Amino acid sequence: MQGQLRNRPLNFSITSQCAHSGRPLRIEIDSALKLHSVSAGADPYIFIPGIDLGNIEEESIIEVF
């Protein structure tokens, strides 16, 4: 999302662990929301909120939800 707002491509990595098994989890994704690398056994869900970010009046996107 940040890459779309800045109008430039970005890549990022998420490092976490499974809340159920405790196994490490790593996901690499780009600003087009394409997955490039996912830990074995992971099945991530990615969504884009249906909000016009350019016109929100709240101070934080969290308040929109």
pLDDT digits (tens, 9 = 90+) for 25-50: 888 888 777 888 788 877 777 666 77
Q: Which two tokens stand for residue 33?
A: 């929301």
- Predicted model pTM: 0.49
Contact 64/16 with Cβ under 8 angstroms? no
Q: Using the 8-state DSSP alphabet, how is residue 47 labeled? A: -
Could you give the number of structural domains in the chain?
1
pLDDT at 48: 67
Domain containing residue 21: 1-39
Q: Does residue 39 contact residue 24 with C-beta atoms inside 8 Å?
A: yes
Q: Is residue 55 part of a domain?
A: no
- Rounded to 5°, the CA angle 15-50-33 comes to 35
Residue keyed to tokens 């308040």: 63
In a domain, 65, yes or no: no
User: pLDDT (tens digit, 9 = 90+) per residue, 10-28?
Assistant: 888 888 888 788 888 888 8
Q: Is residue 15 situated within a structural domain?
A: yes
